[in-house]
Structure 1
Amino acid sequence: MTMPIETDYLVVGAGATALSFVDTLLSQDDKAEVVFVDRHASPGGHWNDAYSFVALHQPSAVYGVEGVPLGHDRIDEHGPNKGYFELASGAEVSAYFQSVMRDHLLPTGRVQYFANSDYLGDNRFRNIFSGEETEVTVRRKLVDTTYFETSVPSTHKRKFDVQEGVRVVVPGALPDLWKSGDLPDHYCILGAGKTAMDAGVWLLEAGIPAEQITWVKPRESWLLNRAFVQPGEQFFEETLKGQIAIMKAAGSAETVSGIFEQLEQDTVMLRIDTDVEPEMFHYATISQGEVERLRHIRNVVRKGRVVKIEAGRMTLQHGDEKMAENTLYIDCTASAVRPKPVAPQWQEDRIVLQLLHVPLVTLNAAVSAFIEANFDSDEEKNALCKPVSFVDHIDGYAGTLAGTGMNRFLWAQNPQVSKFLSASRLDPAAPTIRWLQANAPERLAILGEMQAASMAAMPNLQRLAAKAQADHG
């Protein structure tokens, strides 16, 4: 049986991007009505599936939705993030998004939320449990927030074979190991991304000796130093210093690798193994404290991706590796974001939300919603929002920097968008600049250096981005 309903916007997904978009849309358009459709039982998207010790990479203060602050603007006093703004845990983020839906969006009376439901296409969805189908009459737009659907360890499909009897777990199983009473003799982390780094830090802080840990790293990664991505007036000069360093390196480097090498000298970029040239950059943000901990893991296997795991042996793309019989393998091979070709965001009867200001996904969505509510034609909207490709190989960094810079320039030149951003909680600079304008305007002089460095970098970034496109297709 099919039940009919009507709405202005049918939003597919109820993760961070979807919630941020709808929060801003409702604040900008007091008539808009929204229907959410999502397969999870609770709002929050991939946060529902994340491992228990996951935390934000970026400060809580600039994540979430515009209308509801996340966290308490607290500086951490302990642990590897000591001295920097708090990073909400996965549990805190999940609870936050549940509260956003329950206490902020649904009480408007203009939002309907259908959990446990699969979107079928053609403005129809089906409840996973009851099988009941609903047909939606959409008066304005379908909003697709799943274009860059996130993959996490607990839901992705393994791309390697495992012999029966070999123990392979996802990171979320680690905190419950003590319950089994059968602890492994050795631990092996599979994957080189931020999830693998989180798993490594967890193992070390749990008390497992580094020599009992093997780390399979198909690629090394460049990492952003969290010291240079802090909001707040107390970090203003240091954060701007990092951004200026990025632009100056981007303006002078002969290659994209040269940008990273210069930024490593400036301590803006970090890598765990300084003897290995990184090929990957996913905007993972890390503290120097975490890097120092992870450098204790010296048993690193660099033979490509895992193909097969048997008792006492791993088969990898470029050779075999002998392993202890009683090894626990921790599967961190899920890709956080699947790279896809970009396309216009506004496509007649739909909005396909993409990356505009990398890596600030919730800011992207809020700006898109503001533009949807305040501009008329798709041509106008698309002219203000140029989707940016996701970075995988380091050569993509030039295009991402150039694309993000172009969008920032377009927004700064438009009085409406500029005014919105100047008051945005999700724009890392906006609250700090407001505070400095009122309390210490002389400290804003450094913004001129930032603007000059950004303008000077653009021609070289465009050259490097064009070369990367030609080299990688």
Structure 2
Amino acid sequence: MADFDTDYLVIGAGAVSLAFVDTLLDEDPDCHITIVDMHAKPGGHWNDAYSFVALHQPSAFYGVNSMEFGGDVVDDHGPNKGLFPLASGSEISAYFETLMNRRFLPSGRVDYHPLSEYLGKDDNMVGTVKQVMSGKETTVQIRRKVIDGTFYKTSVPATHTPQYDVADGTPFTIPGDLPKLWMRADDLPGHYVIVGAGKTAMDAGVWLLEAGVDPDTISWICPRDSWLINRKYTQPGPDFFEGAVGNQIAQLKAAGAAKTGDEMFEILGRDGHMLRIDESVKPEMFHYATISEGEVERLRKIKHVIRRGRVSAIAPGSMTFADGEETVPQDALFIDCTATAVPFTESRIHGPQFRGDTVVLQPIHVPLVTLSAALTAFLEVAFDTDEEKNALGIPSPLTDTPNTYPLGMLTNYMNRGAWSKNPKIAAWLSKARLDPTGKTVAKMMAEGDTRLAVMAGFQDAVKVGIPGLQRLAVAAQAEHQDR
């Protein structure tokens, strides 16, 4: 006999799992939910992130449906000037703690087991939970399903092991320790080396520059350059609506005109819908990183960018690559930014979300992972069979390159088309805080907002864009599977 029972056992208390639970509480008022997580607090990887980390996307459509997040006043200074502010890591952590303590637990329908590990279940749906600190194991009878919220396996510098050798005595740190440099003000490094090419590396570069570090004293090991989403086209609300829709129209037209994903991004880059740090370098990577034009302007001040592939070893004053070595000052501080936010190149458990007694949460609208999880919870309650649910929520691949991006974009449009034709889902989306467009469009329609006229160009763009995406996706599928 199990120690306790529950309807749904949720593995993980990160943003994705919490968004699922939040919607499940509203849509199924009789269910009981148990959450098991290794961290001491809810929020998943936000507990481990570097102190100056900030949300890439606007807070307006991040978090959970039931609880507002972020203000409605745009930044009037800094690299994000003119755009809605980006929530800091501490603000995000506080948001999820408030959610747990003021909504989930007081409901009486959620049990939360922090500092605990889920060890699996037997054929009778009896799961085992182990407390991290004591090692004590308890069993839980799962009446309905296990919800696996660990698909993303987010890696951050604090929990990541570098895939290169670090010689003894090498000045080495992670981004989270940079703000502590003030404590060694009389013995600061004379040079800094950023290791990695992703958004963490960009954040570290912007932090150093904003802190007053001379860009000539910064080196940047950049194995692959990246295309970046221009943040000004991802802003919420009526004031930014025309730009956001115009961006979608531009993407569809580019897909219709391009022969490859690479060419599609080149087209989008000409008008600033997509950005890159160095205009003379062709980016090989796209991980949905979102950045402001102000951040790009600052990062372009770093001139010593090392493009020799991945570093294999570092030592005081030197770096080793496949084609040889490169030197920097002996006191150069290496900053490891090589952790991958999500495993773009790993195909562990790709497949349908609904798998009998298990739901594997995956993105069904990339890169909006919390919207995807919330809508998956709605599908779980509103529809009867796995076949129905999976047809309405096809997982989008986490594409790694410009050439594979059309595959994810096409999946988004396929899902959106199915949602728009389903009255239950359409009604839910029209009220969903996490959907960037549904609630805004409903509000603008109710007010007769003339800015909706921009939508007139959308249907024509779809006519050329969808066939273009289908053509590009065929090639993308082959590249995606070959990774």
The answer as to 2:156 corresponding to 1:148 is: no
- What is the one-letter code of the residue matched to 1:168? F
Partner Cα separation in structure 2 for residue 338 and residue 471 of structure 1: 16
Shift in Å at residue 455 of structure 1?
4.2
CA contact (8 A) 1:188 1:330 kept: yes
Partner Cα separation in structure 1 for residue 208 and residue 282 of structure 2: 25
The answer as to 2:281 corresponding to 1:281 is: no
What residue is the counterpart of 2:209 in the other structure? 204
Query: Where do 1:428-439 residues align within 5 Å?
Result: 428-439=436-447
Shift in Å at residue 435 of structure 1?
2.3
- What is the one-letter code of the residue matched to 2:368? L
Shift in Å at residue 222 of structure 1?
0.2
What residue is the counterpart of 2:124 in the other structure? none
Q: Among residues 420, 430, 435, which one is paired with 1:427 in the alignment?
A: 435
- Residue 409 of structure 1 aligns to a residue whose secondary structure is helix
What residue is the counterpart of 1:336 in the other structure? 341
What residue is the counterpart of 1:25 in the other structure? 24
Shift in Å at residue 449 of structure 1?
2.0
- What is the one-letter code of the residue matched to 1:282? H
- Residue 312 of structure 2 aligns to a residue whose secondary structure is strand
Deviations 1:215-253 (A, max 9, x none): 000000000111111111111111111111011101121
Query: Where do 1:304-315 residues align within 5 Å?
Result: 304-315=309-320
Shift in Å at residue 443 of structure 1?
2.7
CA contact (8 A) 1:405 1:454 kept: no
What residue is the counterpart of 1:85 in the other structure? 84
What residue is the counterpart of 2:470 in the other structure? 462
Structure 2 unaligned segments of length 5 or more: list them.
Answer: 122-126
**CA distance 1:381–1:455, shift in 2 (3 Å):** farther
- Residue 54 of structure 1 aligns to a residue whose secondary structure is coil
Shifted more, 286-295 versus 308-317: the winner is 308-317
Partner Cα separation in structure 1 for residue 110 and residue 384 of structure 2: 23
Q: How many residues align?
A: 472
TM, length-normalised to structure 1:
0.98
Partner Cα separation in structure 2 for residue 455 and residue 65 of structure 1: 34
- What is the one-letter code of the residue matched to 2:59? S
What residue is the counterpart of 2:198 in the other structure? 193
- Residue 63 of structure 2 aligns to a residue whose secondary structure is coil
Partner Cα separation in structure 2 for residue 344 and residue 427 of structure 1: 22
Partner Cα separation in structure 1 for residue 387 and residue 70 of structure 2: 38
The answer as to 2:354 corresponding to 1:349 is: no
Shift in Å at residue 73 of structure 1?
1.9
Deviations 1:114-152 (A, max 9, x none): 000111111212000011112111111100010121011
- Residue 395 of structure 1 aligns to a residue whose secondary structure is coil
Deviations 1:258-278 (A, max 9, x none): 110110112100000111100
Query: Where do 1:218-257 residues align within 5 Å?
Result: 218-257=223-262
Partner Cα separation in structure 2 for residue 424 and residue 209 of structure 1: 45
CA contact (8 A) 1:371 1:381 kept: yes
Query: Where do 1:96-111 residues align within 5 Å?
Result: 96-111=95-110
User: What is the alpha-carbon root mean square deviation over aligned residues?
Assistant: 1.2
Structure 1 unaligned segments of length 5 or more: list them.
Answer: none
CA contact (8 A) 2:15 2:63 kept: yes
Shifted more, 407-416 versus 310-319: the winner is 310-319
CA contact (8 A) 1:150 1:338 kept: yes
TM, length-normalised to structure 2:
0.96
What residue is the counterpart of 1:216 in the other structure? 221
CA contact (8 A) 1:245 1:266 kept: no
- What is the one-letter code of the residue matched to 1:291? V
Deviations 1:442-469 (A, max 9, x none): 3323224223323431222122111122
What residue is the counterpart of 1:76 in the other structure? 75
Partner Cα separation in structure 1 for residue 60 and residue 366 of structure 2: 17
Partner Cα separation in structure 2 for residue 468 and residue 106 of structure 1: 44
Shift in Å at residue 24 of structure 1?
0.4
CA contact (8 A) 2:230 2:272 kept: yes
CA contact (8 A) 1:189 1:329 kept: yes
What residue is the counterpart of 2:6 in the other structure? 7
- What is the one-letter code of the residue matched to 1:191? G
Shifted more, 76-85 versus 106-115: the winner is 76-85
Shift in Å at residue 470 of structure 1?
2.5
Shift in Å at residue 440 of structure 1?
2.9
The answer as to 2:133 corresponding to 1:129 is: yes
- What is the one-letter code of the residue matched to 1:161? D
Partner Cα separation in structure 2 for residue 352 and residue 125 of structure 1: 19
Partner Cα separation in structure 2 for residue 89 and residue 220 of structure 1: 25
The answer as to 2:164 corresponding to 1:178 is: no
Partner Cα separation in structure 2 for residue 134 and residue 252 of structure 1: 58
Consecutive aligned runs of 4 or more in structure 1 exceeding 3 Å deviation? none
- Residue 426 of structure 1 aligns to a residue whose secondary structure is coil
Shift in Å at residue 3 of structure 1?
6.5
CA contact (8 A) 1:3 1:133 kept: no
What residue is the counterpart of 1:65 in the other structure? 64
Partner Cα separation in structure 1 for residue 237 and residue 267 of structure 2: 26
Deviations 1:414-440 (A, max 9, x none): 110011001110001123212211223
The answer as to 2:450 corresponding to 1:446 is: no
Partner Cα separation in structure 2 for residue 259 and residue 20 of structure 1: 33
Q: Among residues 390, 394, 403, which one is paired with 2:402 in the alignment?
A: 394
Shift in Å at residue 74 of structure 1?
2.0
Deviations 1:54-81 (A, max 9, x none): 0011111110000001112221111111
Deviations 1:27-70 (A, max 9, x none): 00100110000000000000000000000111111100000011
Partner Cα separation in structure 2 for residue 154 and residue 262 of structure 1: 37
- Residue 394 of structure 1 aligns to a residue whose secondary structure is coil
CA contact (8 A) 1:171 1:199 kept: yes
Work out the percentage of aligned pairs sharing the same amino acid: 53
CA contact (8 A) 2:119 2:128 kept: yes
Partner Cα separation in structure 1 for residue 478 and residue 389 of structure 2: 29
- Residue 99 of structure 1 aligns to a residue whose secondary structure is helix
Partner Cα separation in structure 1 for residue 441 and residue 471 of structure 2: 32
